Amino acid sequence: MRIAGLDIATNTGVGLILGEEVRALSFRPKEKRPFGLGPGEVDFAYEGRLAREFRDWLRPLLVAEGIEAVGIEKPLPPNVTYRKPIVDRNTEWAGTAIRYEEKGGTTMATIFRIYSFVGEACELCARLNIPVHVFSQDAWRKSFLGFSKAPKGTTDGSAWLKAQAKAQCGRIGVEVKNADAADAVGVVWHLRGIVDPLKHGLFAAAE
C-alpha cells in the first residue's frame, strides 16, 4: 500500500505510508509575496503562480512514490469563528467577570489559497487516476489521536491539538519538522483505515 495524506494550508503537510514506512514532509511556496500586498488581500496572479508551484511540486512526488490513493483534509468554511472567554479579574462583582469575544474567521486570501490548492490536488489525482478521499479534521483526529477536541477550558484548542499530533508522531517513530507535517500523518493514518479497514482497524471513523 502506497498512500498519501494532505493537510492543505498556507504551509501544506504531506504524510506518506509506503508499505511499512511512514514519512512526513511539507511544502512551503518559494514565490515571494508581492510588495505592498496587504494582509488578507488577494493578488490573483500571485495565487496562480503559487498554485502552479504547488502542482509542480506535488505531481513528481505522487508519480515517483507510486501513490495509489490520496486523502485530503476537508477545508473549513471561511466563516468559522468561536467565542473566547475573557476573564476580567479587576471587576468588583464577585471578584471576577467573564465576557466573550468573537475569535477566528479566515481571510479571503487564505481561503482562496487553500481551496485553490485542494482543487489542484484533486485535478492532478484525477489526471493520474488516483482515488481521492476527503474527510473532516474530526474524522482523522479520532482515528489518529482517539479524540477530536481539546479539553474544555483549553486556551488555544487548535495549538493543543497540533501538539498532540506531533507527540503522536513521536510515539509511532515518525520524524516531523512542523505541525502541518504532523497533521498530514494523521490524515494518511485515517486514509489507511479507509482503504484497508480489515488490516488497519474497523473503527477508523470515515465521512
Residue pLDDT, tens place only, 116-155: 999 999 999 999 999 999 999 999 999 999 999 999 888 8
Tell me the C-alpha distance between 59 and 55, whole Å: 6
> What pairs with residue 102 in β-bridges?
83
pLDDT digit string (tens) for 183-194?
Answer: 999 999 999 999
Tell me the C-alpha distance between 54 and 119, whole Å: 11
pLDDT at position 95 over 60: no
Which comes out higher in pLDDT, residue 109 or 172?
172
Quote the pTM value. Answer: 0.81
Tell me the C-alpha distance between 79 and 106, whole Å: 7
Radius of gyration of the chain (CA): 19
CB atoms within 10 A of CB 8: 26
